[in-house]
């Protein structure tokens, strides 16, 4: 991993400084909208997490949010997340008690209470469940995450590239079962915990990657909760002002619109704790006659237009509603939807040799090289 320089985090999107000082009930909705977009189709339905977060804030008060630079070196940071298949979460909603149970089990194992709560991924429900935990425990929440997007497996985070262990990892289900996985490495953390999640109904709450404030600053993507809020406000404002939210999102993410079309087929199954499949989108308007296929495993991973790969993981591939810009998750995409497919750049660390080995298309069984998100039209050099 010598090709990765881990001195300071880099922002994958045009500069976005920390702006969130706290999360109130008014902030929950825009954050969930943005979290769904950065979830790249996965991460679980953030609307469910938003409902839990709003209720926790009403009961316990707003959540303090701190930027990476404000986290003390000796902080005890506990990320918390939901592990499992997004299709299951629609019917098997996690409880706030599960979050406290998982965090409590971790604190007892470590022998020290947490000082901060964190998101391990920026997308979907896993951007909102830490809000619930922070509100209930009265702890500050870190404005950042371990991916800058969502990925389906425990080890697929930037802390892995920094050499930070996933374990000890605590887990809790809705029945009260809890436990600790203390694995030899992060790949084994995934291999050991995934079957537990499947046995517990393909959905459990976990707390993993306990780390210091110094480790968080070294390995996290900064300001992603602030970015989620901004994307949500941007989307809603565009709709209200009758401007195009999808173009606005593509511009803000520094990405491109790959295709506008209609979903004509979806092949999807839940296997081994993951949602796997493909969505087929037939172009309309200027894209008439073209067809885009998105392959996914919880998250959208590869986009192909007429047999040519146009974007792959680790960059972002996002399906959105053609009119509202609302993200469409892999468990919610269905026949007949009018959509646009966006791409956007990921944190540059994901394009290191170690990053591509961890989350590149071949890691998910696609025999193709990495294809980066196309540059926005305004940045493409003129010909001639």
- What confidence tens digit (pLDDT) does each residue in 35-82 have? 999 999 987 777 888 999 999 999 999 999 999 999 999 999 999 999
Residue 8 binned pLDDT confidence (cut-offs 50, 70, 90):
very low
- Does 90 score more than 80 pLDDT? no
Under 8 Å between Cβ of 216 and 118: yes
The pLDDT assigned to 244 comes to: 96
Specify the residue for token string 């830490």.
130
The pLDDT assigned to 375 comes to: 83
- In this structure, the dihedral spanned by the alpha carbons of residues 209, 213, 214 and 215, taken in order and rounded to 10 degrees, is 10
What is the per-residue burial (b if ≥16 Cβ within 10 Å, else e) of 27-51? bbbbbbbbbbbbbbbbbbbbbbbbb
Between 15 and 356, the higher pLDDT residue: 356
The C-alpha atoms of residue 18 and residue 175 are separated, in whole angstroms, by: 38
Average pLDDT over residues 365-382: 79
Stretch(es) of the chain classified as CATH 2.40.390: 244-376
Stretch(es) of the chain classified as CATH 3.40.1610.10: 22-225
The pLDDT assigned to 317 comes to: 98
Model pLDDT for residues 209-265, shown as the tens digit of each residue: 999 999 999 999 999 999 999 999 999 999 999 999 999 999 999 999 999 999 999
Specify the residue for token string 């079957």.
195
The CATH class given to the 244-376 domain equals mainly beta
Under 8 Å between Cβ of 77 and 212: yes
- Extract the tokens encoding 67: 């930027």
Give the CA distances from residue 119 to residues 239, 246, 321, in Å, rounded to whole numbers and listed in that order. 29, 26, 26
Cis amide leading into 286 (omega within 30): no
Average pLDDT over residues 90-116: 91
The C-alpha atoms of residue 111 and residue 328 are separated, in whole angstroms, by: 41
Mean residue pLDDT across the chain: 91
CA atoms within 13 A on the CB side of 131: 34
User: Is 64 buried (19+), middle (13-18) or exposed (0-12) by CB count in 10 A?
Assistant: middle
Give the CA distances from residue 262 to residues 15, 67, 259, 303, 335, in Å, rounded to whole numbers and listed in that order. 33, 40, 10, 15, 8
Model pLDDT for residues 278-302, shown as the tens digit of each residue: 999 999 999 999 999 999 998 999 9
Could you tell me whether strands 77-84 and 116-118 are parallel, antiparallel, or unpaired per DSSP bridges? parallel
Q: Which of 296, 305, 291 is nearest to 329 (CA)?
A: 296
Q: Report the topology of domain 22-225.
A: CV3147-like fold (3.40.1610)
- Extract the tokens encoding 214: 């110094």
- Does 313 score more than 60 pLDDT? yes
The pLDDT assigned to 17 comes to: 65
The pLDDT assigned to 92 comes to: 72
Which DSSP letter does residue 112 get?
S
What pTM value is reported for the model? 0.90
Model pLDDT for residues 177-210, shown as the tens digit of each residue: 999 999 999 999 999 999 999 898 878 999 999 9
The pLDDT assigned to 7 comes to: 36
Question: 303 in helix, strand or coil?
Answer: strand
DSSP secondary structure, 61-94, as one string: -PEEEE-GGGS-TT--EEEEEEEE-HHHHTTSPP
């Amino acid at each position: 991993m010598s090709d990765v320089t881990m001195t300071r985090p880099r922002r994958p999107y045009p500069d976005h400084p920390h702006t969130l000082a706290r999360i109130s009930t008014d902030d929950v909705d825009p954050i969930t909208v943005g979290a769904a977009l950065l979830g790249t189709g996965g991460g679980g339905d953030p609307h469910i997490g938003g409902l839990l977060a709003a209720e926790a804030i009403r009961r316990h008060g707003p959540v303090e949010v701190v930027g990476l630079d404000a986290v003390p070196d000796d902080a005890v940071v506990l990320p918390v997340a939901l592990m499992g298949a997004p299709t299951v979460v629609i019917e098997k909603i996690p409880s706030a008690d599960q979050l406290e149970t998982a965090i409590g089990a971790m604190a007892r194992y470590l022998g020290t209470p947490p000082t901060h709560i964190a998101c391990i991924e920026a997308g979907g429900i896993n951007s909102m469940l830490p809000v619930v935990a922070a509100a209930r425990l009265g702890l500050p929440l870190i404005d950042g995450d371990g991916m800058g997007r969502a990925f389906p497996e425990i080890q697929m985070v930037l802390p892995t590239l920094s050499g930070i262990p996933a374990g000890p990892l605590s887990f809790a289900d809705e029945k009260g079962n809890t436990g600790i996985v203390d694995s030899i490495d992060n790949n084994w953390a995934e291999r050991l915990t995934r079957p537990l999640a499947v046995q517990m109904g393909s959905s459990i709450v976990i707390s993993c990657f306990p780390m210091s404030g110094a480790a968080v600053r070294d390995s996290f993507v900064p300001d992603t909760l602030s970015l989620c809020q901004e994307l949500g406000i941007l989307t809603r404002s565009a709709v209200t002002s009758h401007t195009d939210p999808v173009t606005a999102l593509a511009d803000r993410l520094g990405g491109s619109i790959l295709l506008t079309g209609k979903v004509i087929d979806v092949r999807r199954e839940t296997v081994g704790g993951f949602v796997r499949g493909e969505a087929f989108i037939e172009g309309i308007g200027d894209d008439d006659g073209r067809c885009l296929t998105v392959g996914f495993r919880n998250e959208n991973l590869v986009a192909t237009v007429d047999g040519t790969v146009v974007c792959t993981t680790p960059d972002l591939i996002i399906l959105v509603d053609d009119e509202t810009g609302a993200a469409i998750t892999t468990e919610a995409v269905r026949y007949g939807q009018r959509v646009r497919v966006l791409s956007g750049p990921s944190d540059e660390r994901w394009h290191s040799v170690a990053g591509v080995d961890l989350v590149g298309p071949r890691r998910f069984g696609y025999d193709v090289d990495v294809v980066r998100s196309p540059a926005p039209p305004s940045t493409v050099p003129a010909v001639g």
